[in-house]
Each structure stands twice: as C-alpha cells, then as structure tokens.
A = this chain, B = another copy of it.
Amino acid sequence: MKLTPIGIIHSPYTEPAGTPIQPTVAHGAEGTVEVFPEFAEGLQDLEGFERIWLIYWFDRAAPARLRVVPFLDPVERGIFATRAPCRPNPIGLSAVRLLKVEGNRLRIAEVDILEGTPLLDIKPYAPALDHFSIARAGWLEKVWAGRETAVADARFARREKGEKE
C-alpha cells in the first residue's frame, strides 16, 4: 500500500492558523490543482462536474493522536469522530468547487487546503452518490448549525524543527 502523489494543490493558505477548516466556510477562496502531466489524461470529462472530491495527504499534520479536542468544541473526541488532520493515516478529503480545467491544471474555489499539499486522488462529486438524508450527525450537528466561518489554529500542526512551516 504505497501512495504516489498525482499532483500538488496550490492555495492562498501557507500555514494552518487561519486556514478555513472546511470548504463550506472557505468563502470562495481560490486555488489551483497542478496534476502531474503523466496523469493528465485521466482528467478527461471532469469539467462537467461542478464540484470534485480531492483526496490528499496532510503533510504538515502533527503525529497521529487517537483523541483530540477539535476546533469547534472544547470537548475531547475520538479522532475518527472528527475531521482533524492528525490521523493514523493523514488522508484529507475536501469537496471543492471546480471552476475550470486548463490542460493539467484545475482552477478550484472554496479551498480549505494548505499550499503545496500532495494530491492523491480526484473523484467526481454527485448528489446521487454523495447526498444522504441524515437525521443525526453527532457532536458536529450542534457546532455547525448556522455557522458561516471557522478557521484552524496551529493545534494540529507538526512541530518538529527545521521542517517547512
């Protein structure tokens, strides 16, 4: 199970503190996905999709913890009940808006991802596959109700000396 980066995500956010924590509160922030040329052929037909899932590697996340205090609530939670980046496999998932496909570059908006993040996969977002009628969404339900903004701080950022960031 080895991963190969298929591209790099470019965004206005160079450090965790101040980065939107989800696309739903990214207020249109624009970015670019640079797909490496050897994978560009796989982008065909993507332009018909208004939104795409990006699957990426949280390369600047702190080491994995199994319990975290998430950004929006003061209560410690199991890591798998949160979307925090310091996970056993630091895989990120964001449904960003696709503005345009220009060769091997995707112009995107509503970006909640750090500049320079390694991209692992792209999948199309479709209501027929991704919308489920949900009655209960645990602790997230209350903290997200009516929320229009939410940015990260540095609590889940890697601390080691000499690393980028």
* A positions within 8 Å CB-CB of B: 1-6, 22-24, 39, 41-53, 55, 57, 66-67, 77-83, 87-89, 91, 93, 95, 118, 120-132, 134-141, 144-145, 147
Please state if B66 and A42 are interface contacts (CB–CB under 8 Å): yes
Q: For chain A, what secondary structure do more than half of its interface residues adopt (helix, strand, loop), or is it mixed?
A: mixed
- Which of the residues B88, B125, B138 comes within 8 Å of A121, measured between beta carbons? B88
Cα–Cα distance between A23 and B83 once the two chains are bound (Å): 21
Using CB atoms, name the residue of chain B closest to A6. B88
| Set of chain B residues within 8 Å of A4, measured between Cβ atoms | 88-89
Cα–Cα distance between A154 and B153 once the two chains are bound (Å): 46
Please state if B48 and A134 are interface contacts (CB–CB under 8 Å): no
Question: How many subunits of this chain does the assembly comprise?
Answer: 2
Please state if B137 and A50 are interface contacts (CB–CB under 8 Å): yes
Please state if B144 and A124 are interface contacts (CB–CB under 8 Å): no
Listed by A's residue number, 29 A-B pairs whose Cβ atoms lie within 8 Å are A3-B89, A22-B129, A24-B132, A39-B88, A41-B78, A42-B67, A42-B79, A43-B78, A44-B67, A45-B77, A45-B138, A45-B139, A48-B81, A48-B136, A48-B138, A49-B140, A50-B137, A55-B55, A55-B93, A80-B124, A89-B121, A93-B93, A93-B123, A95-B132, A124-B138, A126-B134, A126-B140, A127-B137, A128-B144
Please state if B118 and A82 are interface contacts (CB–CB under 8 Å): no
Please state if B126 and A53 are interface contacts (CB–CB under 8 Å): no
Cα–Cα distance between A109 and B22 once the two chains are bound (Å): 27
Cα–Cα distance between A48 and B77 once the two chains are bound (Å): 12
- Which of the residues B67, B91, B137, B141 comes within 8 Å of A91, measured between beta carbons? B91
Please state if B128 and A140 are interface contacts (CB–CB under 8 Å): yes
